[in-house]
Amino acid sequence: MEQVTITRHGGGKAGEYHAHVAGETAIGRLTWQARGSAREADHTLVPKAIGGRGVAARLVEALVADAREQGFTIIPTCSYVAVWFERHPAEADLLARD
């Protein structure tokens, strides 16, 4: 897999994860909004120039790692994030409950 660096932007009420692929100018993004003690993952955007390289998965993995470290849960409003959780049932404990 190509080198992908994830950076975090924002915080508090809203933020983004950015995926930077070595040698590319396009940036993948996962955006979130705070909802109480949870983060609502509302959009995952990966430009065609860096698509098909696992960039979206790396963005979700960074969100999941932060949820484990910082103690928040995730509301997967974004369809990609929802499917990622379906494919990784071991991480289901991080899903926000109603």
**Average pLDDT of the segment spanning 15-37:** 97
Q: Give the pLDDT confidence score for residue 80 in this predicted structure.
A: 98
* pLDDT value of position 92: 96
In the numeric block, which tokens belong to residue 66?
A: 């932060």
pTM for the whole structure = 0.95
- Residue 1 confidence (pLDDT): 56
Domains and CATH numbers, the chain: 4-94 (3.40.630.30)
**Tens digits of residue pLDDT in 41-73:** 999 999 999 999 999 999 999 999 999 999 999
DSSP labels for 33-67?
Answer: EEETTEEEEEEEE--GGGTTSSHHHHHHHHHHHHH
